[in-house]
A and B are shown apart, each in its own frame.
Chain A
Amino acid sequence: MSGQAQVQLSDVVRRYGGPSGLQALGPVNLEIRSGEFFSIVGPSGCGKSTLLDVAAGLVAPTSGSVRFEGKELHGEVPDGIGVVFQEDASMPWLSVRDNVAFGLRTSGLPKKEVADRVDHAISFMGLAQFAGHYPAQLSGGMRQRVCIARTLVLRPRLILLDEPFGALDQQTRLLMGDELLRLWRETGATVLLITHALDEAAMLSDRVGVMSARPGRFIDMIDTKWPGDRDSRIVSDPKFGALTARLWSSLREESLKTMGRVA
């Protein structure tokens, strides 16, 4: 399946409050290949998160179509998609283990299988020591790992991440970036990452889409040509600096627009 378009957005437009409302997004055309690590950067308020919601099937586009593995989505999330949000979506009343197992509550899998998958996801995300802890006892980064583990147990073919490390400090973000690369390599899933951190996009992605100020459209598409076994150490590669610089030169004008200034 590798190399084929897994996600396909055609002329997607999204307006708030019906066809005559404020245009938040589009028109956007996008194809993401199966197994690709694709990131989207853009100025704040450009509709990045809206694009993710549309691609996940959480909201239907006002016009245009969204396809996942060839099937058109109509505002419901299909099987095979996992979403990690920017906000802390761990459940404070459940232990880490139960939080992770929550993903499989409706799966109808045998207990043994559920336990195996949960154990695997917990140790994969480095949470083994904390399985009995409650989210309130963990740091923000650890809680985000819990949410990622909860997505992993579902064995999604596409993982959507909406600024998952936005609330974390820089060091933790770099390390979480490494984790994300490892996860991407080992699961073979497609990753769509929304971020406002240019370095994060430059370091992690196969391709980066740059979006304009609202209504968000793609104004640049950058192929990073990183090797598959990259990690955060590539920040010292001269190419990393060049990529980040190119992202910024594409974005600077758009960011100024959102601040109400002319470039």
Chain B
Amino acid sequence: MRWRHAALIVRSAILAFLIVLLELCCRAGFIDSLAVIPPSEMIASMVDQIRSGELNASIATTFSTIFIAFLLAVVLGTAIGALIHRWSRLRDVADPLLASYYSVPTFIFYPLLVALLGLGKAPLVVLGILSAAPAVVISTLSGLDSVAPVLMKLSRVHRLTPAQTLWWIVLPAALPHLFTGFKLALSYALIGVIAGEFILSGTGLGYAISYAYQSFDNRTMYGAMLFVLLVAVTANGILYVWEGRLARRRSRG
């Protein structure tokens, strides 16, 4: 515990040092302000954009898209995972596909999705799901694999119904794996949606960054980038802490 605490301090110190170094290099003119602006400027720009409300519409669009994509990825991924787990033949077919899935750059299908679904939320949601769902499928499979056979026997000894077995034994037993999948799914949905907006879209945070970039508006661009970064880190941090709490109970001796 003490070492974990120390590691946290060291990690934060390194990060703080790099930020201060960047700040100094920018201020001293070692780095051209057309390339990178000082971190303090980024923060000021982010605060300005949030205060003025100019990002509000983008924030609402992007996060609702990410949320829908994440939710659908979790539902679809869990269902598909459970299905593949149930039928071993299906698994023989699907396993190599799942294993190699993330070597395919999903983004190359985005233009196709836009052509098929138009330039709205739909292609972005689909792109988010395509990025996120396979991670959920994979973690659902390993979660269901991890349920000890003896617990399934126990369910029969206690004459549990299939629903009771699912809620009382299978889900809690598989939860650590499922949670890893959900965490990955959130990150992948976020990446998928924002990258999609970046490539081709009329709204959203990705579009805002891309637009600022194309109009040489470095200050706005870095402010928006910082905002996306902070949200991503915070969302993941919350899940990380939550996961840690669940895991500690099970493993600490």
Contact = CB atoms under 8 A, between A and B. Distances in A.
Given A89-B148, A93-B249, A77 B164 contact: no
**Binding site secondary structure of chain A:** loop
Given A58-B153, A81-B157, A83-B157, A93 B253 contact: no
B172 interface: yes
User: Which of the four size classes fits the interface of chain A?
Assistant: 20 to 34
Contact of B150 (A81, A89, A105, A134): A89
Nearest to A105: B168
A72 interface: no
B252 interface: yes
Given A105-B168, A106-B164, A136-B253, A91 B151 contact: yes
Interface residues of B, number: 22
A137 B164 contact: no
Contacts of B175: 93
Contact of A137 (B156, B158, B169, B252): B252
A134 B250 contact: yes
B174 to A, nearest CB: 10
Interface in A63-89: 76-77, 79, 81-83, 85, 87-89
Interface string A118-136: 0000000000000000101
A77 B156 contact: yes
A102 interface: yes
Interface string A50-63: 00000010100000
Interface of A: 56, 58, 76-77, 79, 81-83, 85, 87-89, 91-94, 102-103, 105-106, 134, 136-137
29 contacts: A56-B157, A58-B153, A76-B159, A77-B157, A81-B157, A83-B154, A85-B150, A85-B154, A87-B149, A87-B150, A88-B148, A88-B150, A89-B151, A89-B153, A89-B154, A92-B250, A93-B172, A93-B173, A93-B249, A103-B158, A105-B158, A105-B164, A105-B168, A106-B159, A106-B164, A134-B249, A136-B249, A137-B252, A137-B253
